[in-house]
Amino acid sequence: DPELLAADVGALPLIAVDFPQFTDGRGYSTARLLREKHGFAGELRAIGDVLRDQLYYLRQCGFNAFAVRSDRNLEAALKGLSDFSDNYQATAARPVPLFRRRAQAVADEPSPSIERLA
């Protein structure tokens, strides 16, 4: 429960969140709460039944370290971090949603000058 660590997050260099089964998604919520509500800035490590398919989403929730099971191929698992090129929703890793990032990019483009339009 992230609330139990709330008072200590500033002093903790590392928090490990256990995934007892890959179908248990509570760790994703724990990570978001630790990062966004409690301001944890240290290493947030996913441990337990962590699979390649989860790594991209774990990183989006705020995990920055992963302990992949010893019976899994580490190199194959790391490729899971780049399974997707971008995310639509706001995440702990990227708090501005895609539609706002794109709108900002358009707003930041220089306006064409009158001479260039002619």
Q: What's the pLDDT tens digit per position in 15-34?
A: 999 999 988 889 999 999 99
Please check whether residue 65 lies inside any domain of the structure: yes
CB 74 within 8 A of CB 105: no
Please check whether residue 93 lies inside any domain of the structure: no
For residues 25-51, average pLDDT = 91
User: How many domains is the chain built from?
Assistant: 1
CATH code of residue 17: 3.40.50.2300
Please check whether residue 111 lies inside any domain of the structure: no
Instruction: Please give the pLDDT value at position 57.
Output: 85
pTM for this predicted structure:
0.69
> Radius of gyration of the chain from Cα atoms?
19
For residues 41-62, average pLDDT = 89
Please check whether residue 107 lies inside any domain of the structure: no
Distance, CA of 61 to chain centre: 4
Q: Which residues are within 8 A (CB) of 65 and not within 5 positions of it... i.e. 6 or more apart? A: 14, 43, 44, 45, 46
Q: On the CB side of 81, how many CA atoms lie within 13 Å of its CA?
A: 12
Q: Which residues are within 8 A (CB) of 42 and not within 5 positions of it... i.e. 6 or more apart? A: 9, 12, 13, 14, 15
SS3 64: coil
Instruction: Please give the pLDDT value at position 117.
Output: 61
Kindly write down the DSSP assignment for every residue of 29-46, as one continuous string. HHHHIIIIIS---SEEEE
Please check whether residue 57 lies inside any domain of the structure: yes
How far apart are alpha carbons 103 and 92 in whole angstroms?
20
Range(s) of the domain holding residue 40: 2-84
